[in-house]
Amino acid sequence: MNAHSTFEFIRRQPVNSLNIVLEEYRHRKTGAQHIHIASDNNENVFLVALRTVPKDSRGVAHILEHTALCGSEKYPVRDPFFMMIRRSLNTFMNAFTSSDWTAYPFASQNSKDFNNLLDVYLDAVFFARLDPLDFAQEGHRVEFEKADDVESPLVYKGVVFNEMKGAMSSVPSQLWHTLCHNLFPTTTYHYNSGGDPKDIPDLTYEQLTQFYKSHYHPSNAIFMTYGDMPAAELQKQFEDKALNRFEKLDSVIAVEDEQRFSQPITAAHTYPLPAEEDVKDKTHIVMAWLLGKSTDLDDTLEAQLLSSLLFDNSASPLQHLLETTKLGKSPSPLCGLDDSQKELAFLCGIAGSEAEHAEAFEAEVLNIFTTIARDGLAQDQVEASLHQLELQQREIGGDGYPYGLQLILTALTSATHRGDPMTLLNLEPALAELREKIKQPNYVQSLVKKWLLDNNHRVRLVMTPDHGQAEAEAVAERQKLATLKASLSTAEKQKIIEQTHALLARQDQEDDPSLLPKVGLEDVPAQMHYVAPSAVDKSQTPLTQYAAGTNGIVYQQLIMQMPALTQAEFDLLPIYTFCTTELGVGEDDYLATQQRQSRVLGTLSMFSSLRAGTDNVDGISANITLSAKALASNQAATTALMHDTLNRVRFDEKDRVRELVAQMRARREQSVTGQGHSLAMTAASSGHCTAAHLTNQLSGLVRIPFIKQLDESLSDDQAINQLLTQLASIHEKVKSAPRQFLLVADQQHLPPMIDALNSWRQESVPTQFENFSWGSINETVAQAWIANSQVNFCAKAYKTVPMEHPDAPALSVLAGYLRNNYLHKAIREQGGAYGGGASHDSNIASFRFYSYRDPRLTETLKDFDNSLIWLAKQKEDPRLIEESILGVISSIDKPGSPAGEARQTFHAELFGRTRAIRENFRKRILTVTFSDIKRVANTYLKPELASTAVISHKAKEDELKQLGLTIHSL
């Protein structure tokens, strides 16, 4: 293979199942590894990863990840990362801190843009300035509560400090880090690589810079790329822009092997629970085993197969136990295989339990394993689990992260620990070998015995709620700060004030944007990428086909118009759509049906969707979709299973429905700390139109108390019987709805698939149908929701206009303008929130301000208003408008997977978002002017018209009342 002269070629390996070629190179001088995934795809991806192995929980790797992006040798501006987001057509830009690596990835479809970003990223990683003021901003600092008043208390500030306060408000995060603390007593995983808020303030600037010098070196780096750019071309840039300035580093950074336990251990810890919540049934019990190495392909595949056998569906032995045990209410969020670290970990547990059930739960789990070790599992179950692994290997993603980045991250764990990353991307030979292994007598029994029963490296963790913990931690923090303040000399106090003012001055500093490379409007593609259907048959039951490169997978959907529903039925719609594919079908109970699903397809789900019109938000259209993903060879069986599910689903399994409602409750309750900004925006927008109101009803904050109340009521037989009757009634209405089919697959697979669908399509269709409708909504929202969180999520929303209105493009550009030029600095840099900004959603005609993991409340809401005051005083700067337009265009043009783009196009057009309407909206974005955004701000964003929603915590209740917000409890 052709390599740049400074790199040596190691090997090449085609992966036909993924249509890629893997190439490995090594930099001759420094030993830096380069893994290139060659693909006929113009969305090129770059990632450079450094092995980072912290030895405490001060968050050094995480804070360094943030600080490295705050200016470099070639680009001595204060904020090159966020400035480049605005000057780019990127499809992805970010940085990650994992438990043992830190990575800096980006993706772009534009070669000029890719090279610009590569230049900035290489300089940021290898030649970071690491200004002490950036460390104070991004990591942690102390300030006086009243900036210039040395008599006022000291407070901690910092983006990462507040980010981790938010992250560690999540019970699953606390569970995970506490479990790792006990499962890994001697290695880096013992510590919280993101940083524990109790420990972050102990990190010094000198420790940060020393960590940078020892870890951010090419000898400790892994370069990974994907796309159609040749490896040699990429390597020339690596060499010219960074590597030529380094010599080989003699030291080797690596994670040690964990010392294995001689016998299992138990651990007990607490987590904070608000005083108003009952501690009953709030205990988590989790068990974990340390298995083999993630760098060993045999160990990894065995562990993946074992996890699939035990957890794949509700009929899988361990999953069935977790869902049905009387010792807890639902499976723990920590279940399955963790393969992200050097050694594999297997986890299972229950939520909604009591501490005294720990031994009984452990006995139930071990009894499952003992039974399997003795009796094995049915061969069709084993085949079904292998089938699921094959589907995962074959599927082409790209609907969340870019597909190339997904492949890179799959290989990164092995590369980090100097394993063979190529084997994890070319599983076909290993899966074929595994298929032979499962035919051996006692193979599954031996896996269970080896990895679970005879493995002494096991932890049983019990985490119980503690009403006093949050206050005790707050008191400890205040005492630590008080002690620090008491120790300060007059000069040291003055130094804190000076740093506060110096940081504010730095944050107000206007950098010269011309120092950074850019793309401009002239680099924007003339037309939006569009995926056209390959065929549309509008006969009795319409069928739309898309020929897409799906790599042997079929995506099949049945789309039904949403029927007229009563208020009570609409409230139950999320329960109905979740339960329908989780219950028994015909004579089969749900266990047999789950096994059938596992054998036949990858996923089967049902979901509802609704949107306002493109020209009128008062009207809505709504659908219910039954969706399946399967290997093309199984499409006929998939069609039969979908048909049976729709026509023969059983709403008579009381215990199963109780379990499903409990699972839904647990997921909803756990969603707040991770999705708080989205939930707050949804609540704030909920009075603007019918679609916004109904979206909030289906998936917003109001769902949490609803599902809690429903779950608690179902212990009563009359209540569960009533629920089953209501679900069956909804289903009868859905079955009577007009319907159509969507089929997405490789071109060569479509003809036989159509034949399999035709018999279903020829069934009689309803002649009488009452369509879903709802009255108009127009109200102002002023809500506060009290959650178990140490940080806030703030939102303000204004009613605007739908997609086809002349002002809609300007509102979208306005959101980016305010975010880029005011909100980012005010809310994130100066306010210390992890994130903040604005967006315009033309689907519900709503402009929303938001903050994420925010230590402030009233001040942030005021910043939203101040951004509009600031805008009114601004004069036109064409560069700032161009940057905002680029951001909107980049989000519109962001690619997805081949199947995802087809599905997205189909559903957009189903809701009236035709190609012409979307193209016209995109063209109008490109013509927005500064006067346009000032005009729409004055027209729609009037403070007296704002709706407000906040997620906060009990300590803020008085402040929330002063803001005039109605307080609700989660």
Averaged pLDDT, 945-964: 94
The pLDDT score that the predictor gives to residue 16 is: 84
Averaged pLDDT, 61-72: 96
The pLDDT score that the predictor gives to residue 43 is: 95
| Mean confidence (pLDDT) of the chain | 94
Cβ(87)–Cβ(180) under 8 Å? no
Tokens 């980016």, residue?
816
Cβ(954)–Cβ(274) under 8 Å? yes
pLDDT digits (tens, 9 = 90+) for 901-937: 999 999 999 999 999 999 999 999 999 999 999 999 9
The pLDDT score that the predictor gives to residue 826 is: 94
CA 91 distance to own-chain centroid: 16
Triad 488, 491, 495: Cα angle to 5°: 90
Cβ(312)–Cβ(388) under 8 Å? yes
The stretches of 348-468 forming alpha helices (DSSP H) are: 358-375, 379-394, 403-416, 421-425, 428-437, 443-448
The pLDDT score that the predictor gives to residue 788 is: 87
Spatial separation of the C-alpha atoms in residues 441 and 956, rounded to whole Å: 62
The pLDDT score that the predictor gives to residue 1 is: 66
Instruction: Give the DSSP letter string of 697-729.
Output: HHHSTTHHHHHHHHHHHTTSHHHHHHHHHHHHH
Write down all domains in the chain, each with its CATH number in brackets: 7-250 (3.30.830.10), 265-466 (3.30.830.10), 536-761 (3.30.830.10), 779-969 (3.30.830.10)
The pLDDT score that the predictor gives to residue 274 is: 86
pLDDT of 767 higher than 80: no
pLDDT digits (tens, 9 = 90+) for 680-719: 999 999 999 999 999 999 999 999 999 999 999 998 999 9
Cβ(93)–Cβ(892) under 8 Å? no
pLDDT digits (tens, 9 = 90+) for 452-489: 999 999 999 999 999 999 899 999 999 999 999 999 99
DSSP β-bridge partners for residue 23: 12, 36
pLDDT digits (tens, 9 = 90+) for 85-144: 999 999 999 999 999 999 999 999 999 999 999 999 999 999 999 999 999 999 999 999
The pLDDT score that the predictor gives to residue 941 is: 97
Instruction: Give the DSSP letter string of 938-952.
Output: HHH--GGG-EEEEEE
Averaged pLDDT, 252-272: 96
Helix (H) or strand (E) holding 658: helix 654-670
pLDDT of 150 higher than 70: yes
pLDDT digits (tens, 9 = 90+) for 506-539: 998 888 888 999 999 999 998 999 999 999 998 8
Token pair of 134 as six digits = 């950036």
Q: How far is CA 413 from CA 186, 252, 265, 291, 427, in A?
A: 20, 17, 27, 16, 15
pLDDT of 76 higher than 80: yes
Does the pTM surpass 0.85? The reply is: yes
The pLDDT score that the predictor gives to residue 722 is: 96
Residue type, 495: K
The pLDDT score that the predictor gives to residue 882 is: 96
